[in-house]
A and B are shown apart, each in its own frame.
Chain A
Amino acid sequence: MAATTAFGLLGCGLLCAALLAALARLQRWPLRVRYAAALAAVALLLFPFGDVSPAGYVRGLTGDLSAVTLALAANALAGALRGRPLFGGRDVDALLAATAAAGLFLYPFALGWTPFDPYALGYGSIAFITALLLLTLAAWRAGLTPVVLVVLLAALAFLGGVYESRNLWDYLVDPLAGLYALVTLAAGRVRRYFSRAASARA
């Protein structure tokens, strides 16, 4: 099995494990059982049943997962296993905001509605790398360590050719993360609006 395949399957396995942990409300289980269940789930997800493992089925649908998706999945899984996530609050909000902004820039244009194709910038555009550097420095200055780490993880994976893609965008963001970020941010806004309205009435 090629290294790119192994990394792709591991990423999909991690996402599935995080989703299963959330569905099973793993954090309510005894500590040892949590870890045992998580290990068993990962093993089953990567074990091929017939031609393809469950992670392979997911990979067929999602492709290889970006650093943002993996970071959010790892954060959720860590939260379920340890009782507290790796990062939260302001860091998560910043990561989601950056992901939503990237998605809004990338995906509508990638549908081919204009001659401009931002996805092509990911093959080695100095302008794109400069813009990403400025955003990373802004995050570093603001102390948003998880955002910086996600960008660095994506960049290192890209440089190492961890996936089949040679496009930096694929390592940074994917539609799952983009959609999750947009929905979570929108839901947060709606919740805040109704909470303010309730406070005003009281």
Chain B
Amino acid sequence: MSARLKWTSLAVIALVFGALALRALEAPPAAHFAAPRSGAADASSKPLYKSQLLPNSSAQVHSATAVELADGRLRAFWYGGTREGAPDVAIYTSAYSPKEDTWSPERAVMTRELAQRQLHRHVRKLGNPVAGRDPAGRIWLFFVSVSVGGWAGSAINATVSSDEGATWSPPRRLITSPFLNISTLVKGPLLRLADGTLALPVYHEMLGKFGELLRLDGEGRVIGKTRLSWGKSSLQPVVVPRSETEAVAFMRYSGDPPARVLMSRTRDAGVHWSEPLKTALPNPNAAVGGVLLEGGPLVLAFNNAEENRESLSLAVSSDFGDSWRVARTLESEAQLPRAPVAEYSYPWIMQDRAGDVHVLYTWGRSRIKHAVFNRAWLEGGG
């Protein structure tokens, strides 16, 4: 190499690495959680509880998620098909009107073929969806897809709607893992951060099982991540902030007995997380749902057994997860009607702007069930 070329190449190295350093310095610093809604706890009204099955037509359905619409309705999403993992599995949606207490007919938002065509990649099957809203008011729908193998071969995709779910953008692939970008799945709700970026709890299933919190920019690109847990036994994180800096993460547990819901804490807005510890609540290797009610307690929807998903309960904590009381049972052997397959799982819990709490969950693998209740009903459970 000539001396001139050698020094020119050194100058190019300096320029390129200068640009890399500049990019790193311009990266958004760690952001606080968006402050949770604060409102007075209103448990004085009459107890309200009602439930119904959604109008889904697929033989098997699973993994419901929902977002509140601008007009006060609820839009739910789930995946359904002839069976889990089948090529005909699609992501469906339906909207709930609280005034009429009815769900609209379902329609498919994303099919395997559409995802494959728009992602320009082979897609073998679709899985868990998660819906959420960004600060601009757009609805994001994240969903799992698999190109090869089982769920350990999953990747996450995102599509966005600016018209309350009527139309959707072509999906974009989230790049989350150095292993050919496989083995990342989604189940927990999207979080808003104070600087306008988003945080999405995800989990990995290849060899290890652990949770992470992805940070997304306004276009849904992954711009950072933090590990919520490590090892081989924690997955499907649900992160619930209490303030701009404090949050808890609940995780499904897949390790040795005793089988308990896992919990981790952060006090620095998710920069560091405590080692996940077992709570007093049982967990039969199943997803949980959590929400902090306005001005009130932390509520966890969970399967109240170590071995099966035959009961679904609501636990309440007034000290942000230190202690728990089982407040209500949504499904159990005593509840009627019973599903043909006694499995009540994958709860999604959220509070709407009117203060009512909604739980959507898989009912016997064949239907999605919606329960809506208020604080008075929850706290009247003894």
Contacts and interface: CB of A to CB of B under 8 A. Distances in A.
Interface string B81-94: 00000000000000
A182 B32 CA distance: 42
A63 B179 CA distance: 9
Interface string B257-274: 000000000000000000
Nearest to B224: A123
Count class of interface residues, chain B: 35 or more
Interface stretch (B55-63, B97-105, B112-120, B328-336): B112-120
Given A123-B224, A124-B27, A155-B16, A164 B175 contact: yes
Given A112-B230, A120-B226, A123-B225, A63 B116 contact: no
Interface centre among A9, A119, A156, A169 (most CB of B within 10 A): A119
B20 A143 contact: no
Given A51-B116, A140-B9, A145-B1, A60 B231 contact: no
A63 to B, nearest CB: 4
A110 B227 CA distance: 10
Interface string A1-40: 1000100110000000000000000000000000000000
Nearest to A167: B175
B36 interface: no
Contacts of A163: 175
Chain A interface, DSSP helix/strand/loop, else mixed: helix
Interface centre among A61, A107, A136, A170 (most CB of B within 10 A): A61
Interface residues of A, number: 56
B370 interface: no
Contacts of A126: 21, 24-25
Interface in B208-254: 208-210, 212, 217, 221-227, 229-232
Contact of B20 (A52, A56, A57, A159): A159
Interface string A109-143: 01111110101100111100100110011001001
A106 interface: yes
B23 interface: yes
B13 interface: yes
Interface string B141-166: 00000011000000000000000000
B13 A136 contact: yes
Contacts of A181: none
- 6 interchain residue pairs of minimum CB distance: A60-B122, A112-B208, A60-B147, A165-B175, A124-B27, A112-B210
Given A60-B121, A126-B24, A136-B17, 9 more contacts: A8-B120, A61-B147, A106-B178, A112-B209, A119-B178, A145-B9, A156-B16, A159-B23, A166-B222
18 contacts: A52-B122, A59-B122, A60-B122, A63-B181, A64-B175, A112-B229, A117-B227, A120-B225, A123-B222, A124-B223, A124-B224, A126-B21, A132-B20, A143-B1, A164-B221, A165-B222, A167-B175, A176-B180
Interface of A: 1, 5, 8-9, 51-53, 56-57, 59-64, 106-107, 110-115, 117, 119-120, 123-126, 129, 132-133, 136-137, 140, 143, 145, 148, 152, 155-156, 158-159, 163-170, 173-176
Interface of B: 1, 9-10, 12-13, 16-17, 19-21, 23-25, 27, 113, 116-117, 120-123, 147-148, 172-175, 177-182, 204, 206-210, 212, 217, 221-227, 229-232
